[in-house]
């Protein structure tokens, strides 16, 4: 039986270390200090921690086997700060309900961040979270439930691609965020198109999308843009670029997206 949120809270000492790390500057000195503080905060102990995230949300983080969870655990101010800043600005600049598509949802941290910003802006929140790996699906569902977001987020257990089918999936147990579709993967997963997933959810539109699927972005975009109509074309996209080939960027350009920011491994795109 899964322990309820709060059962795995950091000790007072570990929480004090976390608070100190959250005040570090996002520079070389700050990053070196964060690496030292991670161990003191329990981040290398091989256990999970229940912590508040992004002001209003709650998550059980596993800093020992997933880089994104590690960064949010010890230095949330470092974690994709520029991309999240652009997403926050986009959310705050709109009105009405906000609809988010999280492709490669992992532990749900981008969804929780988007939800916190939507709530701060007084916008009802809806999300579709797509994740094929069983362990990360479990973490995703737990974090949504702990944050009270389970009814606002539709979880879809599959991989995405250019067409419906099946594929083998390789799990990276040292950094679960680098798991991916691979020819010699040990796990068989269903593959669906993003257009079909949006259609099944009966979503009237997608306002923003985050996509990070370790090189599968071009195939996923192909399966998205195959759908007719504007509701299959988010106005705002954060896309992981370091594993993507040039087809993904070219596809976005053909669909009238322009790159407005490059931050680390990610590109941020807006549709004209």
Mean pLDDT of all residues in the chain?
96
Please report the domains of the chain, with CATH numbers, ordered by start residue: 12-74 (no CATH), 81-271 (3.40.50.150)
DSSP string, 207-270: -EEEE--TT-HHHHHHHHHTS-SGGGS-SEEEEE-TT--HHHHHHHHHTTEEEEEEETTEEEEE
Banded model confidence at residue 7, pLDDT cuts 50, 70, 90: very high
Q: Is 185's pLDDT higher than 90?
A: no
Distant-in-sequence, close-in-space partners of 177: CB < 8 Å, separation ≥ 6: 66, 67, 68, 106, 212
Q: Give the DSSP per-residue string, 56-107.
A: TEEEEE-TTS-HHHHHHHH-TTTTTHHHHHHHHHHHHT--S-EEEEEET-TT
pTM for this prediction: 0.96
Three-state SS at 134: helix
Question: Distance between CA 101 and CA 99 in Å, rounded?
Answer: 7
Lowest-confidence segment of 26-30, 95-99, 140-144 by average pLDDT: 26-30
What's the N-to-C CA distance of the chain in angstroms?
49
DSSP 205: -
pLDDT in tens, 118-161: 999 999 999 999 999 999 999 999 999 999 999 999 999 999 99
């Amino acid at each position: 039986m899964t322990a309820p949120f709060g059962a795995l809270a950091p000790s007072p000492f570990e929480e004090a270390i976390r608070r100190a790390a959250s005040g570090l500057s996002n520079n070389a000195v700050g990053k070196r200090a964060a690496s030292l503080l991670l161990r003191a905060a329990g981040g290398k102990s091989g256990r999970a921690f229940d912590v508040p995230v992004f002001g209003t949300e709650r998550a059980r983080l596993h800093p020992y086997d997933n880089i994104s969870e590690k960064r949010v655990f010890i230095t949330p101010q470092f974690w994709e700060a520029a991309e999240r800043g652009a997403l926050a600005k986009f959310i705050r600049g709109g009105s009405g309900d906000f609809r988010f598509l999280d492709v490669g949802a992992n532990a749900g941290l981008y969804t929780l961040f988007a939800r916190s910003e939507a709530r701060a802006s007084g916008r009802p929140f809806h999300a579709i979270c797509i994740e094929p790996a069983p362990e990360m699906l479990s973490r995703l569902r737990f974090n949504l439930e702990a944050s009270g977001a389970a009814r606002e987020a539709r979880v879809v257990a599959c991989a995405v691609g250019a067409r419906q089918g099946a594929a083998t999936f390789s799990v990276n147990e040292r950094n679960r965020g680098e798991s991916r579709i691979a020819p010699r993967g040990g796990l068989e997963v269903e593959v669906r198109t993003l257009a079909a997933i949006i259609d099944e959810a009966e979503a009237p539109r997608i306002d923003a999308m985050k996509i990070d699927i370790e090189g599968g972005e071009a195939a996923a975009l192909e399966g998205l843009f195959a759908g007719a109509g504007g509701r299959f074309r988010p106005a705002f996209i954060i896309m992981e670029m370091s594993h993507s080939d040039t087809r993904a960027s070219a596809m976005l350009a053909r669909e009238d997206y322009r790159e407005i920011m490059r931050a680390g491994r990610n590109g941020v795109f807006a549709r004209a």
